[in-house]
Every structure is written in structure tokens, then in C-alpha cells.
């Protein structure tokens, strides 16, 4: 995997823009769910969630990504109303404490997206790439907010039974289907400058199927959009460890994967643990600055 020359973009959000490329941005994960794969139940209480959100911001998170519905394998779907009851009070509390915080909402429900943006969120992060709610594309176009389009292969209840992918099948599939999602978004009226793409590590790619995607991450640059990498605590990293239960093993693996993704062109890291991601990004950005001497330096 060569070191990529990371292109620069101006990511247009609801009320502001973020410069993507001069340095890696870190998106902190806040799951207000009882059943997420690594932190389910920890942040259901709005007061606990607020404390964690503020700590992530203090640790250097550029964006907070707030979700109320788990998408782990075999997750039980919930209604948009239940999702809203979990996340909207937390969203309001964060913005009351830190009005300038950039908040993203991890949802596949158009009505949740609308209400969250009206409450002050800047970004909709749709893991289905606008596929699971027929109203989502038009809603995002109307809201004129930032949009993360992720590649998902099937739905969570289908992942364990999907046919295996050969190593040479993974990247072509992701490239083709992300390109389809981009065309659908643009056709619905979503502006190009509002879109970031996420190849969806772990979402329908089973265990070792994710390594070809990471090894060829630089080729996603052919789509000519900013790229987000969501590698934090993913099962394929744990599966690759020789001592997966040892303290800090999964965090170490996440840091290694995050560094590889940055050097291959990732503009944004989506992570549970902000501080180690910031450290990894600072180092990787310095390497990128040397590899591309005309680019601005990192942190």
C-alpha cells in the first residue's frame, strides 16, 4: 500500500465548512444504545453521555457522532421514535454545553435525521448509504447538511449468511456500489461538496475480507471524494490478534489500522477512543507532510 497524496476538500455542513486534508480529523463515537458491540449500555443515561461527549471534545475530537440504534450483527431494529428518544436529549445537552461542537447523527431514519438537524446537528451519517429509508435522500437534500455515505453489504441480520468474498472481489464491489450511492445522492439533489464516503469496514465484510479493503484503501481515492475510515474496535482486528484478550490489545490494533488508513488517504477517523487516535493522526500527518512536501503539515 503506497503512501497516498491526500487531496484537500472543503466539506460543506449545515452551517459551516470543515477543511479536509491539511490534517486528519477525528470523529468520536457516542452510542446511546443498550446493545452496541463494544460499548452498549454505557451511555444511555443522558448525564453520563454528556460527560463522555465533553471528555471526547476535550481530548481533541473534531466531530461527535451520536447514534441511538445498534448496527451490530443480528441487531434488533428499533423505531425512529425510540431512536429519537435516546439521542435528541443528549444532542441538546451537548450543544447547550458546547454550542460550537460539530455533531453528526448516525441514523438510517429520515425523520430522525430531520429532527436532529433541526436541533442543531451538522451531519447525517447513514450507514446504509441512503438505502434503508426511501425518504432519506430527499430529506438530506432538503436539510442541506453534511452527509456520510457508507457502503453496506446487506443488512445486519444477513451478514452471517452472506456468501464469502474472494480477496480480489472486495474493493471492486465497494468501489462500484459506493459510486452508485454517490450518483443516487446527486440525483436526489444532495450537493457534491456535502458528501464524504466510508467503505464500511465490517458492514457485510466478514473478518479477513476487510484486510484487502484496508490494504487497497488508497484506491478509493479514485472516487474523488473525502474518505472516512471506521476501524475502531472492529471484529476483524480482534480476530487477527494473537492475544485478543490482553489489556490494550484491541486499542493497539485500532491505532495500527488507523495509521495505515491515514497514510492511504483517509481524511477522517471514526473512533471510540479519541486521544490515541489524535496521537496516531499527529504522527501519520507528519509522514504525509514529508511524502507530499507541498501540503500543509499536520498537528
As annotated, the active-site residues are: 234, 270
Distance CA 246, CA 251 (A): 10
* Residue 295: all three cell numbers together: 501540503
CB atoms within 10 A of CB 2: 9
69, 77 Cβ separation under 8 angstroms:
yes
- What stretches of 121-189 show up as alpha helix (H) in DSSP? 136-143, 167-187
| 65, 90 Cβ separation under 8 angstroms | no
Alpha carbon distance 66, 53 (integer Å)? 9
Q: How far is CA 224 from CA 1, 136, 218, 229, 265, in A?
A: 18, 23, 11, 15, 11
150, containing H or E segment: strand 146-150
**C-alpha span between 28 and 125 (Å, rounded):** 13
Please answer whether residues 125 and 203 qualify as being in contact, where contact means their C-beta atoms are separated by less than 8 angstroms: no
DSSP annotation of 38 reads T
Buried b (16+ CB within 10 A) or exposed e, 219-241: bbbebebbbbbbbbbbbbbbeee
Which three three-digit cell numbers place residue 46?
Answer: 443522558
Amino acid at each position: 500500500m503506497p503512501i497516498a497524496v491526500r487531496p484537500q476538500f472543503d466539506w460543506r455542513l449545515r452551517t459551516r465548512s470543515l477543511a479536509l486534508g491539511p490534517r486528519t480529523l477525528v470523529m468520536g463515537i457516542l452510542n446511546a444504545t443498550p446493545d452496541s458491540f463494544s460499548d452498549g449500555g454505557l451511555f444511555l443515561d443522558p448525564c453520563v453521555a454528556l460527560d463522555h461527549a465533553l471528555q471526547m471534545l476535550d481530548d481533541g475530537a473534531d466531530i461527535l457522532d451520536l447514534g441511538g440504534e445498534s448496527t451490530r450483527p443480528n441487531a434488533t431494529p428499533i423505531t425512529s421514535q425510540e431512536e429519537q428518544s435516546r439521542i435528541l436529549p443528549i444532542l441538546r445537552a451537548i450543544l447547550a454545553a458546547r454550542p460550537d461542537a460539530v455533531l453528526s447523527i448516525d441514523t438510517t431514519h429520515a425523520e430522525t435525521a430531520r429532527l436532529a438537524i433541526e436541533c442543531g446537528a451538522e451531519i447525517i451519517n447513514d450507514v446504509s448509504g441512503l438505502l434503508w429509508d426511501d425518504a432519506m435522500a430527499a430529506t438530506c437534500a432538503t436539510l442541506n447538511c453534511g452527509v456520510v455515505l457508507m457502503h453496506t453489504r446487506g443488512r445486519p441480520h444477513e451478514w452471517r449468511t452472506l456468501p464469502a468474498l474472494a480477496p480480489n472481489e472486495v474493493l471492486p464491489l465497494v468501489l462500484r456500489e459506493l459510486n452508485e450511492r454517490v450518483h443516487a445522492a446527486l440525483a436526489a439533489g444532495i450537493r457534491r461538496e456535502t458528501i464524504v464516503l466510508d467503505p464500511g469496514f465490517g458492514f457485510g465484510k466478514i473478518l479477513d475480507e476487510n484486510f484487502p479493503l484496508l490494504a487497497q484503501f488508497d484506491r478509493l481515492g479514485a472516487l474523488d471524494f473525502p474518505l472516512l475510515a471506521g476501524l475502531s474496535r472492529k471484529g476483524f482486528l480482534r480476530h487477527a490478534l494473537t492475544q485478543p484478550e490482553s489489556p490494550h490489545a484491541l486499542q493497539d490494533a485500532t491505532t495500527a489500522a488507523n495509521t495505515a488508513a491515514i497514510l492511504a488517504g483517509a481524511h477522517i477517523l471514526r473512533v471510540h477512543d479519541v486521544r490515541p487516535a489524535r496521537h496516531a493522526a499527529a504522527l501519520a500527518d507528519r509522514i504525509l507532510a514529508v511524502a507530499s512536501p507541498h501540503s500543509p503539515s499536520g498537528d
